[in-house]
Structure 1
């Protein structure tokens, strides 16, 4: 089992140049749970994740890892505790899958330490968990988008951190592989106690897989907590400007969003009955 780590943003303001993206935001990631962050494009989700992974320094406020300012901690110390899968990672030209996944072990290598059987085992587990063992000798740049995404996830898993941050981990994946990845992250959380925080676009998958849901809009947290409390018709309207109906997921009982749109309105009872008999 992993060690429970605390990760929080306190009064964090983030941006690029003179443009502020996130303003005075507070957020706590529950230890040992799966958190999903949702929101419209450009609302600050990915920017926040970068700051929490120590890739972007706040102009004010701070990110705390185990109560200490993460930007003041040594890079390697943070990398042993916290792993990140960014939105659009870039692999070196011609690198093989196994070599890329092995890079996840670098934080565990000291100046004088050597590669060990434990490192081999960690890489093998990551390849198997993401179903890319058969691709181990293939160059990453020859793979499909979905295959590459699974390889990057394998590298993050090989790092074997207590906290794992993922920015849209289901990008480029068909629905079957989306479910595979989210099941894998759930297994990682339940079996190892890994704290998982991820940005997701699909509201229904976020509600189904997350223990803790965070809804963002315009650089602020609009709501955070249990998916059943957060994912309401009012929240969907405030965050996405979208009218919807939120109903229980028939499999899990968790909230499921049904968007309305301009061309599909709510049927009156008489209309619904007529359609059902056609």
Structure 2
């Protein structure tokens, strides 16, 4: 694996029909790093990832990989360098886990080449690191949502590309498996130099795991850079329309976003009468005494 591949969008505009989703976007993916793309729903995150993997042709501008426009590269050549896990992949009916993961080896098969020991090793390693080896003989459509997601990630890993694009890889996963997947992708980056680009909804996971964050707002680039520079209260407000407080994550030392909801703002307590009087410089009034009870043995006078 290498960390020298360059991937960038240059003046990129993307649309579905007459609706423009990305407008004149310039984004550079740092090679050998983990990049997280964040932003509100419908801001163009998944659309950008689709174009970077040549699934969506640009209206204007271009996506460039190592100096070549990805939309002009042969599909198999691109697939040997860049892998994609889309947001909602669909498996062929009845296919087993092992067969699906094995399809990640397709870019490495030539016209006359056959399945070999390297393919077996790549599939076995992908199954192992995603904890899906026990599922190898099961049909994919019998699995839970979380199990299927890990199987799709295994297929992407079996492709063994230098760049890996993942659209919401933690979808359908519980908290424990979310952390396992993000740890796995981080290990892949650190040990093999794989450039990872992923769309994430959780800002705090993005700040903890990404070296570089791209924040989109309404189809345009709002900010890009290290988490410490991008994840600010102003950015959260501009991108998500949300008031927040940014503190230091006690685990990672990275920024941690604390959202402020309308029902979670604690008003200061009302001061006691004594405190209010003291603040005003007056002596507090003595507490009024209840009237003494009448002598039970006395007789009322008329």
TM range (shorter): over 0.9
1:127 CA drift (Å): 0.2
Counterparts in 2 of 1:1-16, with a 5 A limit?
1-16=1-16
Matching of residue 139 in structure 1 with residue 148 in structure 2: no
Secondary structure of 2:264's counterpart equals: coil
Counterparts in 2 of 1:197-236, with a 5 A limit?
197-236=197-236
4+ long deviations beyond 3 Å: 266-271
Secondary structure of 2:261's counterpart equals: coil
1:159 CA drift (Å): 0.1
In 2, are the aligned partners of 1:245 and 1:259 still within 8 Å (CA)?
yes
Match in the other structure for 1:42: 42
* Matches of 2:116 and 2:173, distance apart in 1: 33
* Matches of 1:59 and 1:10, distance apart in 2: 12
Match in the other structure for 2:258: 258
Match in the other structure for 1:196: 196
In 2, are the aligned partners of 1:94 and 1:139 still within 8 Å (CA)?
yes
Match in the other structure for 2:118: 118
In 2, are the aligned partners of 1:216 and 1:223 still within 8 Å (CA)?
yes
In 2, are the aligned partners of 1:38 and 1:199 still within 8 Å (CA)?
yes
RMSD (Å), alpha carbons: 1.3
Match in the other structure for 1:181: 181
Matching of residue 65 in structure 1 with residue 65 in structure 2: yes
Match in the other structure for 1:80: 80
**TM value normalised by structure 1:** 0.96
* Matches of 2:99 and 2:138, distance apart in 1: 10
In 1, are the aligned partners of 2:3 and 2:195 still within 8 Å (CA)?
no
Match in the other structure for 1:55: 55
Structure 2: runs of 5 or more not aligned: 272-302
Match in the other structure for 1:30: 30
Match in the other structure for 2:297: none
Match in the other structure for 2:245: 245
The C-alpha deviation readout for 1:137-184, integer Å capped at 9, x for no partner, is 000000000000000000000000000000000000000000000000
In 2, are the aligned partners of 1:4 and 1:162 still within 8 Å (CA)?
no
In 1, are the aligned partners of 2:3 and 2:31 still within 8 Å (CA)?
no
* Matches of 1:239 and 1:24, distance apart in 2: 18
Which structure's CA Rg is the greater one? Answer: 2
* Matches of 1:11 and 1:216, distance apart in 2: 14
Structure 1: runs of 5 or more not aligned: 272-278
* Matches of 1:163 and 1:108, distance apart in 2: 15
**TM value normalised by structure 2:** 0.88
In 2, are the aligned partners of 1:260 and 1:266 still within 8 Å (CA)?
no
* Matches of 1:244 and 1:270, distance apart in 2: 25
* Matches of 1:58 and 1:227, distance apart in 2: 28
Match in the other structure for 2:89: 89
